[in-house]
A = this chain, B = another copy of it.
């Protein structure tokens, strides 16, 4: 048909161009590991990203090449994202908390050409350099020397036109660090990233505007830093980055820079609450706190809400760019009691436009959205993975459904509630017991610092739960007290057959409970009563 609209490729460089043109004076603040602070602006980020793109081309990189980072959150890391994508490359954020064999595997599998790293991670670089087969250049983000980031930029004039091309070209790669098997690389396209960024700005997701001052506590190396480095440019927000996650530093920085939005895993808030209790300090300007990565405990949600903060309980994965659902206030929010509001936020919320969810049972039968039928959560949409990097097969079925490995229920209003990881669910006599629910209930018991629930062999019920508990320092909480507390929160047949006290529990590199190791340890365990 003759006539129509203009057609522009949706490339991530247009996000930065927008920020640099329309929000050029908005600040990007960095608090470095050594305590120093630097300030730049979107104009500065854009100028430096162009210089970086020039430098990468000078180093011989070409369209499609991977540019790795081993770094915390800071303005130079942001420059690296846009610079790498701007020269047609893929920014590849590596999680420095991974184990050495994973670090070696990931960089080799991605065939990274350059690595930008924080000085704090220099020991990792030294240790792994000989194993990394494709990295030709190492650049230290926070070195003032000739090997440093600023020296690399200083050689360029910034007169550079972004590499253009189809919006379906890739701009980023991020590896998932599962508890089994080799990490898998998720490839994001310019198109998927821009559409995701547009969706993230909306009030029912991150609620990003020019007035937003965001401190992403979630590391930029973790699941696309939840997408904020891209969406923040689209909205022209002010960024406040901290390269360390000490609550004292964060709280002080939040108040000095008037941070309105943060995003991070629940652990961040455990630490922040301790700091608040000890010092009486409090982050005064916070309006929206997004919690994801793992389920936020009810007590945490309640405390933040009582501070007048909107708590966004999010669910997502590296494979979902990462926003899958967001627990924004429902349409009838103002008519709900505080308790009902908290109830709502303990669930993982609803999908934004773009994401579709369904729950299927073990036979693949789609379950009703009745708030009761639980099953494997599947997801699809324009920012959901279709195939892992170099994978022989698609990561999805013929209808694009991606199996998340989470177990959840869907409520009639579309709200999604994670009940467990599929592999962690405890199957007792054909019924499912949520290990996550048991653990969350247990940490609400006075004296309990952390808890892990696993299923162990039972001759009659196949599996029954046992609970491993780490006591808080100085606590002498007993198994009977824990059971009595649990009895108030879960069905009677969910109560663990035994409660064991342990000194500590194993964790993955990203801080989650390493259930595989715990199960391995208990694989020959027999219940006393069985």
Contacts and interface: CB of A to CB of B under 8 A. Distances in A.
Interface of A: 1-8, 10, 14-15, 18, 21-26, 64, 168, 170, 185-189, 191-192, 195, 197-199, 201-204, 207-211, 234-236, 238, 321, 328-331, 333-334, 350-351, 353-354, 356, 380-391, 396, 400, 402, 413-414
Q: Which of A188, A191, A210, A328 neighbours the largest number of chain B CB atoms within 10 Å of its CB?
A: A210
Given A4-B192, A8-B400, A25-B413, 8 more contacts: A1-B64, A5-B187, A5-B188, A5-B385, A6-B400, A201-B203, A202-B209, A209-B328
Contact of A1 (B187, B350, B414): B187
A209 B203 contact: yes
A191 to B, nearest CB: 8
Contacts of A380: 6
Contacts of A25: 413
A198 B186 CA distance: 24
B329 A211 contact: yes
A6 B401 CA distance: 10
B15 A353 contact: yes
A202 B235 contact: yes
12 contacts: A3-B391, A4-B168, A4-B170, A5-B382, A6-B192, A6-B383, A7-B386, A10-B195, A201-B203, A202-B202, A203-B203, A210-B328
Contact of A387 (B3, B21, B209, B236): B3
4 closest A-B pairs by CB: A203-B209, A5-B192, A3-B389, A198-B198
Q: Which of A7, A203, A384 neighbours the largest number of chain B CB atoms within 10 Å of its CB?
A: A203
A500 B386 CA distance: 70
A3 B382 contact: no
B353 A4 contact: no
Given A21-B356, A333-B211, A384 B202 contact: no
Given A208-B202, A211-B333, A235-B202, A4 B386 contact: yes
Given A26-B331, A328-B209, A381 B8 contact: yes
Nearest to A319: B5
A28 to B, nearest CB: 13
A356 B17 CA distance: 10
A211 B4 contact: no
Contacts of A209: 202-204, 328-329
Contacts of A6: 192, 380-386, 396, 400, 402
Given A353-B18, A386-B7, A388-B3, A210 B381 contact: no
A65 to B, nearest CB: 11
Contacts of A189: 4-5
Contacts of A22: 350-351, 414
A333 B356 CA distance: 37
Contacts of A15: 353
Nearest to A5: B192
